[in-house]
Amino acid sequence: MKLPHVLRWMTSFYLLTLVLLTTTGCADNIIVLDPKGPIAEQQRDLMLISTVLCCLVIVPVLFLTAFIVWRYRDRKGSTAKYTPNWEHSTRLEVIWWGIPIVIIGVLAVITVQATYALEPSKPLASDEKLITIQVTSLDWKWLFQYPEQGIATVNEVKFPKGVPVRFEITADSPMNSFWIPQLGGQMYAMSGMAMTLYLQAYEQGHYWGSGANFTGKDFAKMYFNVESTTQADFEQWVKGVKATSPELTLDGYQQLAKPAASDVRTFSAFPEGLFEMTVTKYASSHNHGLSWKDIQKIQVKE
């Protein structure tokens, strides 16, 4: 039995798509579907549930479209019933309006619940003491400051597994978006604002982080290394940074903030209040016309 032309075309298209996905390695690179933390895991589940619910409508419609095209095509000897004056069926109306309405209602309830549960500034429940990491988006690099440990890094962030991380995020450049796909969704980094994002890693591992907004010439290089380690390895890494890395001075930060890509760098210390100064330096009502040294003096007094 020969397949109709339309069905043969659709079958070939789907097979070609499957081959392209598998041969290009896309199946292994969908890292948002391979979560390594509680936030990313819940977001993954929400995406899968939403996809399944949508497919309950989309898949039957696609199959019915192909069936109708094949069944009612113009051909000799067709036995399809011809009813040119037919215009209404209560049963069909209830089916094709009722089912989508129910699905949308279920999807709305699930989405609202997940939205409140995944509020990014909501602390994660844990017996472990959280760690704070201050994130500054620069052109075209990421600066990470550890206020409790007194160290800073560029394009590299480390933290212990199982420990909630409080990311405080700002920008000293055009707005960007801070994103570690396997740990959680994106959070905007904006000048003059400090956003809060709580994340956690279940296990040790190396992950990929990136800026998700277009910010100019080298935005494609604006990615960073993420590593979840044991508590002992993290403490050893902090000691190593303190012992072998130079300090980040205020003048050094001004040079670092200039538009340019950067490799991984580490600093054994950074100016006190640097993150707060970055957040407030563009606030015209507070800092208009002041130099960096003036801003630093204000921060110290406050």
pLDDT of residue 24: 44
Task: Dig out the tokens for 38 from the structure.
Answer: 């509680």
pLDDT of residue 216: 85
pLDDT of residue 74: 78
Percent of the chain with pLDDT over 90: 64
Task: Dig out the tokens for 229 from the structure.
Answer: 């380690």
Run of H or E including 209: strand 205-211
Q: What is the pLDDT of residues 223-260, one digit of tens each?
A: 999 999 999 999 999 999 999 999 999 999 999 999 99
pLDDT of residue 62: 92
Question: Please, which pLDDT band fits residue 293 given cuts at 50, 70 and 90?
Answer: low
pLDDT of residue 89: 86
In the predicted structure, residue 284 carries a pLDDT above the cut 80: no
Q: How many CB atoms lie within 10 A of CB 256?
A: 19
Question: Please, which pLDDT band fits residue 218 given cuts at 50, 70 and 90?
Answer: confident
Polymer length of the chain: 302
In the predicted structure, residue 289 carries a pLDDT above the cut 50: no
Q: What is the pLDDT of residues 99-143, one digit of tens each?
A: 999 999 999 999 999 999 999 999 999 999 999 999 999 999 999
Contact 210, 174 (CB under 8 A): no
* For range 183-206, the mean pLDDT: 94
Q: Please, which contacts does 238-243 make with residues 24 or more away whose CB atoms are closer than 8 Å?
A: 238/146, 238/149, 238/151, 241/151, 241/153, 241/266, 241/267, 241/268, 242/150, 242/151, 242/268, 242/269, 243/268
pLDDT of residue 63: 92
Note the pTM of the prediction, 2 decimals: 0.79
Question: Please, which pLDDT band fits residue 282 given cuts at 50, 70 and 90?
Answer: confident
Q: Indicate the average pLDDT of the chain.
A: 86
Q: What is the pLDDT of residues 14-70, one digit of tens each?
A: 555 555 555 444 445 578 889 999 999 999 999 999 999 999 989 988 998 998 888
| Cα separation, 198 vs 239, whole angstroms | 25
Q: What is the pLDDT of residues 154-190, one digit of tens each?
A: 999 999 999 999 999 999 988 999 999 999 989 999 9
- Per DSSP, helices labelled H in the chain are 5-23, 26-29, 38-71, 90-117, 231-244, 250-256, 274-280, 284-287, 292-301
In the predicted structure, residue 286 carries a pLDDT above the cut 60: no
Task: Dig out the tokens for 219 from the structure.
Answer: 């935005």
- Residue in the structure block whose two tokens are 């509680």: 38
